[in-house]
Structure 1
Amino acid sequence: MTTEHVHDVLVVGGGNGGLSAAAHLLRRGSKDVGLIEPADRHVYKPLQHYVGTGLADFDELARPQASLIPDGVAWHRTAAVSIDPVQRIVHCADGSKVRGRDILLAPGARIDWDLLPGAEAALAEGTAITTFVDGALGDARTRLAGMTGGRAIFHVHDQPASGQETAFKPLFIACDMWQSAGVLDRIHVVLAHEGARLHAVEAIEREIRRHLDDYGVDVRLATRIERIDGADVTLTGPDGSGVERAELVALHPPYAAPAMIADSGLDGPGTGGFVAIDPETLRHRVHPRIWAVGDAADLGSGRTGGGLRQQVKIAVENIRRARGGMPLQRYDGYTVAPIATARRSLSFGEYDRALRVRRSLPVPDQIRSTPVWHLLDRYALPQAYWHRILRGKL
């Protein structure tokens, strides 16, 4: 007999967005919140780049999921397989069904290495590294520290991409480390960036370019890695296409939407399989009791933790407002670009959907890289994440 559970609000996904949304819902008066998430370990993803480059310890990275589930939330320790958006029923991997009066989707995006031929083999062989995968951080740390010469290709995906701006972190931290070790001049550092620009916001782009020039990085815009065969990397772009041999390839993984989104008919034309929501209200365009935040949503803006924090608060508030027939709040696409430009310096640019520079802190310039922003990103934000963001206090 199939077990069916019913909740006032059902949250799908127990990452940053899902946990913080569940906590905010409880704080806003929801009496019955359910959460579907199979993982027993929760990783603070922004810290992966610091662990993978040797600037943070492995034990700082994760905590048991059970210790983070808000008191009062019913945790369904299984995976969501499909969703009936009309009946608002989630079918789960363990055979159970979970229904929500409203459903808030926060399952994130998935890495799909099949989109980059040869990537998985290169990672297994040690030719390629990534600081976006928890289990690959030890190899990344070893390979970056041991690099003394040759060609190093760093890769940044265009959208859809989780942490697109943080993909600059391993490049800049490695360059600073190699410069300090006196080997940078012997390493031909290449940035293969799929976008036509380094960044859509001109001020942030100028800051990125300034540091790339200082390190002597060979910048290739609108350039893709088509495949990897051992040490041979096939590049395609306006600055030249062909095979280049590299001693090291640092990959920004290709991302895709969770399969259950399209399988459940929750995507739409032009969304690429991601949840078809109104990017301002975070409400599904067809199913008004379905909401989405984070990497799985077709938001048309940067997929970052800073943006997610704003989305969660607005989505939770809009669930309340929709039930009361009140006007919905609007998300303006706010996001943040924490770009480390050295081991102990970082640019902390904030901007919105209209590409206007925003400032949430009382300082004149957050875009120019300084050690202050590094301390915020490396030490203050992880503590805020564990103790405030996931608790619905920020």
Structure 2
Amino acid sequence: MSITLKTLIKFQSRFCRESSKVVSNFSTSSRDDARRDYKLVIVGGGTGGTAIANKFAKKLGKGKVAVVEPSETHYYQPMFTLVGGGIKTLSQTASPSDSLFPKGADWIKDRAAAFDATNNVVTTENGDELHYDYLVIAMGIQMNFDQIKGLTDALDHDPMVCSNYNPAYVNKTFNAINKFKEGNAIFTFPNSPIKCAGAPQKIMYLADYHFRKMGKRDKANILYNTSLPVIFGVKKYADALLEVVKDKGITTNFRTCLTEIKHDSKEAVFQNLDTGDNQTVKYEMLHAVPPMSCPDVLKKHPDLVDETGWVNVNKNTLQHQTYSNIFALGDCTNMPTSKTAAAVSAQSGILQKNLNAVMDGKAATPLYDGYTSCPLITSKGKCIMAEFGFDGPLETFPINQARESRLMYHLKKDFMPALYWMGLVKGHWNGPKVYRKLFHLGMGK
């Protein structure tokens, strides 16, 4: 499928105008009877689940695919950084879920409460039993705001404590940037895997940009307190980002984890993960990223998750390590790559191929190379386009993508949202591998 920038931007504009008018084109289900039988059950209606539903609904036929998803609103979460940075609005990130699911699929507007993988059954909170031949788990990642003492209370009551990791709080971020006067502006990274590992520092760079624009930068002490030992997991991009923070005068504190917020006294408590020592720091503004985990309902089933608590799949095939009729993709899995929408795009195409093969009685093929991408916005109008896989950089364009680029910024800001709505969640976009080979004259990976 050929998708041009002009077509995508035109589609995005039309989509934003029309999405609220869409009438559901597939069936929704509440509890009519306790048992339902499906060829394919997809648990999770986020990026991965919606993409897989669109790939299989027409192939398998009406009433053969069910999507278990309680939320009526689907968010394009990679845009939350731009919302927090005052570049996009929250409404631009949202679409009704029923405008994205395919015709012929059943929407089970409920949560999964239990899995019986031995007997091929998913039970919902309402008590419905969904029997399946094949199961795709795409439940995303769980935000654990309550694991940082005082964080939820601070987010609810302190206008200068914010987080881009929840649509309920994302608008607070730009408000806090505008209200900032002087003192410490702290940006945190928790001691857990998270979705989009670059996002905690992207909003920091946008805050730096706005502080400079408003003439407040000399009054701001910007701190990046991260639990990680490095600024980014891929050395090529880490080296570039260390130069960015140096040029901007940002202080980086590695192996430093937020454990408590005392918003009444405007204090944050951090633990040094190497020594165990605690330090209390005053803040004027604090952007907090909560610890994250695989959803609790999955962790209750040790046959589905590994010893670290994530869905246990083969990293190259996306097939479950124990149950051959179960596949998983996205943030809930134990695949050793960053948890991003870009990763889901590549994974969705590979899952489609391998699930089709298994349905045809064939073996799954090891195809996934760990591809993911993190567009690292370093200022308004600048972006480092990090693309990498299990073994290091996997860059699409025949340039050094570790350099700040205005082109890459506009790809992130203008092109990728349209590609997401028109391509990825509709089941048409499987990542840039074909284009990567084309741009590298067939010599790329």
Given the two structures, how large is their TM-score scaled by the length of structure 1?
0.95
Q: 1:225 deviation in Å?
A: 0.9
Match of 2:382 in 1: 345
Match of 2:182 in 1: 149
Contact 2:355 2:364 in 1 (8 A): no
- Structure 1 residue 380 and structure 2 residue 415: aligned? yes
SS at match of 1:148: coil
Q: Indicate which of 11, 14, 18 corresponds to 2:42.
A: 11
SS at match of 1:295: coil
- Structure 1 residue 311 and structure 2 residue 342: aligned? no
Instruction: Write the distance in 2 (CA, Å) between the matches of 1:267 and 1:161.
Output: 20
Instruction: Write the distance in 1 (CA, Å) between the matches of 2:352 and 2:127.
Output: 28
Match of 1:219 in 2: 252
SS at match of 1:297: coil
Question: What's the CA shift string for 1:69-119, capped at 9, x where partnerless?
Answer: 111212111111111111111101222111111100001011111221111
Q: 1:157 deviation in Å?
A: 2.8
SS at match of 1:69: coil
Match of 1:21 in 2: 52
Match of 1:364 in 2: 399
Structure 1 stretches of 4+ moved >6 Å: none
Alignment gaps of 5+ in structure 1: none
Match of 2:281 in 1: 244
Which amino acid is 1:283 matched to?
Answer: Q
Match of 1:120 in 2: 152
Aligned length: 390
SS at match of 2:169: helix
Match of 1:193 in 2: 226
Match of 2:235 in 1: 202
Contact 2:313 2:334 in 1 (8 A): yes
Given the two structures, how large is their TM-score scaled by the length of structure 2?
0.84
Instruction: Write the distance in 1 (CA, Å) between the matches of 2:91 and 2:216.
Output: 30
- Structure 1 residue 43 and structure 2 residue 72: aligned? no
Q: Indicate which of 119, 129, 143 corresponds to 1:87.
A: 119
Which amino acid is 1:30 matched to?
Answer: L
Match of 1:177 in 2: 210
Alignment gaps of 5+ in structure 2: 1-31, 430-445
Q: 1:138 deviation in Å?
A: 2.1
Instruction: Write the distance in 2 (CA, Å) between the matches of 1:128 and 1:370.
Output: 30
Q: 1:327 deviation in Å?
A: 4.5
Contact 1:322 1:328 in 2 (8 A): no
Contact 2:141 2:293 in 1 (8 A): yes
Instruction: Write the distance in 2 (CA, Å) between the matches of 1:367 and 1:346.
Output: 9
Q: 1:232 deviation in Å?
A: 0.9
Contact 2:184 2:221 in 1 (8 A): yes
Instruction: Write the distance in 2 (CA, Å) between the matches of 1:52 and 1:384.
Output: 21
Instruction: Write the distance in 2 (CA, Å) between the matches of 1:205 and 1:251.
Output: 21
Instruction: Write the distance in 2 (CA, Å) between the matches of 1:257 and 1:81.
Output: 14
Contact 2:319 2:364 in 1 (8 A): no
Q: Indicate which of 277, 280, 285 corresponds to 2:321.
A: 285
Calculate the aligned-residue CA RMSD, in Å.
1.7
Match of 2:60 in 1: 30
Q: Indicate which of 267, 270, 278 corresponds to 1:235.
A: 270
Which amino acid is 2:307 matched to?
Answer: G
Q: 1:233 deviation in Å?
A: 0.8
Instruction: Write the distance in 1 (CA, Å) between the matches of 2:367 and 2:149.
Output: 40
Seq. identity, % = 21
Instruction: Write the distance in 2 (CA, Å) between the matches of 1:106 and 1:266.
Output: 17
SS at match of 2:350: helix
Q: 1:241 deviation in Å?
A: 4.0
Q: 1:244 deviation in Å?
A: 0.7
Q: Indicate which of 307, 313, 319 corresponds to 1:270.
A: 307
Q: 1:382 deviation in Å?
A: 0.6
Instruction: Write the distance in 1 (CA, Å) between the matches of 2:269 and 2:336.
Output: 29
SS at match of 1:325: coil
